[in-house]
Amino acid sequence: METNPYVTDFYNHYDEDQRLCSRHGSVEFLTTMNYIQKYLTPGSRVLEIGAATGRYSHTLARQGYQVDAVELVEHNIEIFRKNTVQGENITIVQGNALDLSGFPDSWYDLTLLLGPLYHLYCDEDKEKALREAIRVTKEGGIIFAAYVISDGCLLDEGFHRGNIDVADYIKNGLVDGETFAARSEPKDLFELVRKEDIDRLMAPFPTVRLHYVATDGCALLMRESLDQMDDEKFQLYLKYHFTTCEREDFCGVTSHALDIFRKKATGK
């Protein structure tokens, strides 16, 4: 199975281990963990697909859950192993989200697909990754799938920070000049989608959506303000964010979204 060299090169040089550690970056982590905790029960078995350096996997293992992790990039796996502490019930193997043949059917209570869909650029590959995540999850189990949302990225990285040239993206066909829908290729690294793309992708699968979450909401757009907040104000912001992150009017502004769904039982 061919590996995207752009992804490997990016994570060989990017400090993924620190991405969620800043105050503004922690909003994504804290929001995701807030929802994960809703569905964990004593003895839950967890699989994280595309575990990167293991921020989620290690957190859950240190809470006493049995965690298996799959990661594509060897550099990330090395850091994952360095971050492992004594007493964690955790495994890590190198693998690809499109082929989890080493894992049995209907084995995990909770399956996390928090990164691979960022780097899959055609529906066929996205469907493979989702199908595999659903396959290894027990009937009635929960799957978390994360996406990069185009409008939040255009607002933050384009119109606000100027890290990308929106006009140039339109000129090169990466953004539609009328609808502002995005189109990505492997060299662009991140696949940018909208909720309607996710809805269409999920329609054929035997699942029930439980939550669709604006994972970081406006956190990246207002990162400087968040990073300057004292602890009391930041906690108040988090309370506000947790209260509003499923509102439809926030879900297009976020840079990352989380689709949380339950695998249906056979015949239902």
18-55 pLDDT, tens per residue? Answer: 777 788 989 999 999 999 999 999 999 999 999 999 99
Buried b (16+ CB within 10 A) or exposed e, 13-33: eeebbeebeebbbbbbbbbbb
Q: How far apart are CA 95 and CA 54, in angstroms?
A: 14
H-run or E-run covering 133: helix 123-135
**DSSP SS3 for 180:** coil
- pLDDT value, residue 55: 94
What are the residues whose beta carbons fall under 8 Å from the beta carbon of 5, sequence distance 6 or more?
none
Task: Tell whether the torsion through CA atoms of 134, 140, 146 and 149 is positive or negative.
Answer: positive
203-218 pLDDT, tens per residue? Answer: 999 999 999 999 999 9
Residue 188's φ and ψ, nearest 5 degrees, are -80, -10
pLDDT bin (cut points 50, 70, 90) of residue 11 is low
What is the percent of the chain with per-residue pLDDT over 70, rounded to a whole number? Answer: 93
Beta-bridged to residue 69, according to DSSP, are 48, 92
Q: Which amino acid is at 89?
A: N
Q: How far apart are CA 46 and CA 32, in angstroms?
A: 14
Q: How far apart are CA 237 and CA 23, in angstroms?
A: 11
> What is the reported pTM?
0.93
Cβ–Cβ < 8 Å for 187, 6: yes
Residue 255's φ and ψ, nearest 5 degrees, are -90, -25
More confident residue, 48 or 9: 48
215-257 pLDDT, tens per residue? Answer: 999 999 999 999 999 999 999 999 999 999 999 988 889 999 9
